[in-house]
A and B are shown apart, each in its own frame.
Chain A
Amino acid sequence: MRKFIRRVFHFFLVAGIAMSLLLISYICFDPFVVLKKIYYHSIPIGNPNRDYLSTELFLKNYKTYRFNSFIFGSSRTLAYRIDSWEKYLSKEAKPFKFDAYGETIYGIYTKMKFLDKLNVKMDNALLIFCRNITFQRPHNSDNHLTIKHPATSGESEWMFHWAFFKAYLNPNYFFEFLWHKITGKQKVIDAEMLHLNKMTFDSVRNEMDLKAKENSINLGMNVYYMEKKNLFYKRKGELLDPKSKIRKTQLFMLKEIKRLLEKHNTNYRIVISPLYEQMKFSVEDRRILKQLFGDHIHDFSGKNYFTDDVTHYYEASHYRPMVGDSILSIIYADKK
């Protein structure tokens, strides 16, 4: 028995020492900024978890600023600037952008539930749905980029931090991070989509602003799109998504969202994003959404004015604020 314990102890001691060193370095460096209460919108290697950052900023600021208007959705909410949205809201509106990378219906639903639990009023809401991500995963993710803040998901804090520690241990990440720590250099990723380090950041209302990027496009539009042409794949015209994405769980969440919006008497709009892919939301899903939300749904998916023009996009995933501004003017036409 003693031999067994000694053997197992030695085995795990070696592993434990190595693991402890990694854990200590992780705690000291906090590479994803999820341990220290510092609100970084960009980190040296990779991207921060936007869900975590949004939720932390909200928790930090909501008592002071009394937010009562929210934009929910993925990084595509970049196109919907708070300043533009405010024009259509009453003077009492205090907007906050509650976005997350790859935001899903699960994320939107849990955030609304979380706000409701905190007794935060939702006077106005703008929900951005996207064909390819919103209804894909009706549960939490275990990826460090998309896992939800435990405060909104109600899931284990350990699992949340485990996701980041695991990402830190990924050899690709770990060695790149180590290289950065030693040399201070960052690997330049040419195809990086959003260039977070070139953004300005409103740390109260949680808004990212790509002013530098917008300026560079406006100064030399042709040059920008020539340089970035590899980021735009060739499209096949309008396609119809043949498969309904709204299943039983997603439908339940949609109904709950509707219940919460009605409970708060929210003035809300739901936008189906004009994506570069030009694929139309499935007929069945449009029917379900229309049945649930009626005129609050505004569908811009498929081939249309917004999606035809390549210059409406930064790359094949994100559309520009000029598109967001036009969409806002359409969906709030009654407020003009």
Chain B
Amino acid sequence: MLFNSIEFAIFLPIIFALYWFVDPKSVRVQNILLLVASYYFYACWDWRFLFLLVFSTLLDYYTGIKMHEASTAKLKKIWLWISIGINLGFLGVFKYYNFFATSFESALSEIGLHVNLWTIQVILPVGISFYTFHGLSYVIDIYKNKIKPERNFIDYTLFVSFFPLLVAGPIERATHLLPQIQRERTFDYTKAIDGLRQILWGLFKKIVIADQCAIYANQIFANSADYSGSALLLGALFFTFQIYGDFSGYSDIAIGTAKLFGIDLLRNFAFPYFSRDIAEFWRRWHISLSSWFRDYLYIPLGGSKGGTWTKVRNTFIIFIVSGFWHGANWTFLVWGFLNALYIMPSIVLKSNRNHLDIIAQGKYLPSFREFGGMLITFLLTVLAWIFFRSEDLTQAIQYISTIASPSLFTIPTFRPFVLFLFLLFFFGIEWIGREQQFALAKIGERWPSWLRWIMYYAFIIAIFAFVGKEQQFIYFQF
């Protein structure tokens, strides 16, 4: 069931009504209801993978308790590694086995040895990367005595499988979400209205921006050998907007939906294309994953403690692992590696925490320097996205070589003016709302309600005008 589907438009109000009307005073009833809804939501993708989700939940629930009860540090460590091993084992089998098998075969064939390793024909269980990381953060936090294990199985299961975040995050932390699941939730009018507004903005980003950019990006990337440098540059730009609209749109819908149930999820995007350097970009892009890697990989590896060499090594490790998390393809690894390279000057020069504030805060326009930084960061990101989107490294390299050829200065075959106008409008709104949690949060707040409603109707009309066949969200494949 996609967020941008008719099924979800029916499912959500039903669950909302049951949640607030059946027994609003009982957290237990509310949690059971959300749990059933979440399992139904997940089963709509493929009910067979429910078993995997249940197994992963049981594993972390049980190992969490066992770690807490362990009499020795060694035993505690053993339980931790059992959980990490099995969790990553599943991820490895479903997501990476074929990649390693085929890469190994190719490597051997290079030296004249021909082996035929079997590959598995199975689709990737939707959301596996997200709920595995969810579970891992829980057991690691218990191991580090940051939290105590959750004994209430329903509460724990809901923490893992709460439907708005189940298939593509934000990747939650037990310290943030579990207390909200445990305590009584009363209806908050402001939060619910804010949630609806965020859902509306998310749908606009997904259907009007991402899906329309996808039409051109897909066509250009699928036939990249046929197009001029200018068309390919346009294709890369379209993909840049597509992936942002798609994933941040998904996150907005997820966060907005959770707000309707009185639950706050972690922020996932904070206007990343307005970043002044790559370090800032990574504090603003897929925040829940970046902070996960920071807390559970970068810091345990030594983080910023130690010399520059340690920081450089750790940065490369987390970016390459992050690339690999996205998928078993060399293109993702190169994408991660490129981002590590981009961020390196600021790591070495210790300027990676220069821009902790919001660009042009309290002003209409950025300074010339800020604009320059923003433009360079954006272009570097576009270049990295080419690797991310390409089928393989050969295509990515050819793609970039064509962009770097004289054909860059020809008029591109694609000139979708309506889409250009929408993109301009979209970035205008994003710029105006950049100091808020999401762009539409405060826009029109002081307007008369009829005028604000006209604005919302305009968004709804645009969504209806562009809605086609439901388009999968890009991050579901990860």
A4-B192, A8-B196, A158-B6 known; A15 vs B457 contact (CB < 8 Å): yes
Interface assignment of A3: CB less than 8 Å from any CB of chain B: yes
- Docked Cα-Cα span, A1 to B465, in Å, equals 32
Number of A-B contacts (CB under 8 A): 31
Q: Which A residues touch B453, using CB under 8 A?
A: 11, 14
Interface assignment of A242: CB less than 8 Å from any CB of chain B: yes
Interface majority SS (helix, strand, loop, mixed), chain B: helix
Interface assignment of A330: CB less than 8 Å from any CB of chain B: no
> Would you give the shortest CB distance from B259 to chain A, in whole angstroms?
12
- Docked Cα-Cα span, A7 to B464, in Å, equals 22
Q: Which listed residue (B196, B225, B457, B464) contacts A166, Cβ 8 A?
A: B464
- Docked Cα-Cα span, A4 to B262, in Å, equals 13
Q: Which B residues touch A8, using CB under 8 A?
A: 196
Q: Report the interface size for chain B: residues with CB under 8 A from the other chain.
A: 19
Q: Which B residues touch A242, using CB under 8 A?
A: 226
A4-B187, A11-B456, A14-B453 known; A166 vs B467 contact (CB < 8 Å): yes
Interface assignment of A243: CB less than 8 Å from any CB of chain B: yes
> Would you give the shortest CB distance from B348 to chain A, in whole angstroms?
45
- B451-478 CB mask vs A (1 if < 8 Å, else 0) is 0010011001000110111000000000
- Docked Cα-Cα span, A96 to B324, in Å, equals 55
> Considering the complex, which residues of chain A in the window 1-54 have a beta carbon less than 8 Å from any beta carbon of chain B?
1, 3-4, 7-8, 11, 14-15
Interface assignment of B97: CB less than 8 Å from any CB of chain A: no
Which of B193, B456, B469 gathers the greatest number of chain A CB atoms within 10 Å?
Answer: B469
Residue pair A7, B456 in contact (C-beta under 8 Å): no
Interface assignment of B401: CB less than 8 Å from any CB of chain A: no
- Docked Cα-Cα span, A3 to B464, in Å, equals 27
A1-B187, A4-B189 known; A15 vs B464 contact (CB < 8 Å): no
Residue pair A15, B460 in contact (C-beta under 8 Å): yes
A14-B453, A15-B457, A158-B6 known; A3 vs B196 contact (CB < 8 Å): no
Nearest neighbor of B21 in chain A, beta-carbon distance: A1
A142-B469, A169-B465, A243-B223 known; A4 vs B193 contact (CB < 8 Å): yes
Interface assignment of B20: CB less than 8 Å from any CB of chain A: yes
- Docked Cα-Cα span, A4 to B223, in Å, equals 49
A14-B453, A15-B457 known; A170 vs B465 contact (CB < 8 Å): yes
> Considering the complex, which residues of chain A in the window 130-186 have a beta carbon less than 8 Å from any beta carbon of chain B?
140, 142, 158-159, 166, 169-170
> Considering the complex, which residues of chain A in the window 91-142 have a beta carbon less than 8 Å from any beta carbon of chain B?
140, 142
> Considering the complex, which residues of chain A in the window 174-227 have a beta carbon less than 8 Å from any beta carbon of chain B?
none
> Would you give the shortest CB distance from B452 to chain A, in whole angstroms?
10
Q: Which B residues touch A15, using CB under 8 A?
A: 457, 460
Residue pair B464, A169 in contact (C-beta under 8 Å): yes
> Considering the complex, which residues of chain B in the window 350-407 have a beta carbon less than 8 Å from any beta carbon of chain A?
none
Which of A3, A4, A142 gathers the greatest number of chain B CB atoms within 10 Å?
Answer: A4
Residue pair B187, A142 in contact (C-beta under 8 Å): no
- Docked Cα-Cα span, A79 to B468, in Å, equals 33
Q: Which A residues touch B460, using CB under 8 A?
A: 15
- Docked Cα-Cα span, A7 to B192, in Å, equals 11
Residue pair A1, B464 in contact (C-beta under 8 Å): no
> Considering the complex, which residues of chain B in the window 24-70 have a beta carbon less than 8 Å from any beta carbon of chain A?
none
Residue pair B223, A166 in contact (C-beta under 8 Å): no
Q: Which A residues touch B457, using CB under 8 A?
A: 14-15
> Would you give the shortest CB distance from B223 to chain A, in whole angstroms?
7
> Considering the complex, which residues of chain B in the window 203-230 have a beta carbon less than 8 Å from any beta carbon of chain A?
223, 225-226
Residue pair A159, B469 in contact (C-beta under 8 Å): yes
> Would you give the shortest CB distance from A145 to chain B, in whole angstroms?
14
- Docked Cα-Cα span, A159 to B470, in Å, equals 10
- Docked Cα-Cα span, A142 to B207, in Å, equals 14
Additional A-B contacts beyond A11-B453, A169-B465 (5; CB < 8 A): A14-B457, A15-B457, A142-B469, A166-B464, A243-B223
Q: Which residues of A contact B (CB under 8 A)?
A: 1, 3-4, 7-8, 11, 14-15, 140, 142, 158-159, 166, 169-170, 242-243
Closest 9 CB pairs of A and B: A142-B468, A1-B187, A142-B469, A4-B189, A4-B192, A3-B189, A15-B457, A11-B453, A1-B20
**12 residue pairs bridging A and B, Cβ less than 8 Å apart:** A1-B189, A4-B187, A4-B192, A14-B457, A158-B6, A159-B469, A166-B464, A166-B467, A169-B464, A242-B226, A243-B223, A243-B225
Q: Which residues of B contact A (CB under 8 A)?
A: 6, 20, 187, 189, 192-193, 196, 223, 225-226, 453, 456-457, 460, 464-465, 467-469
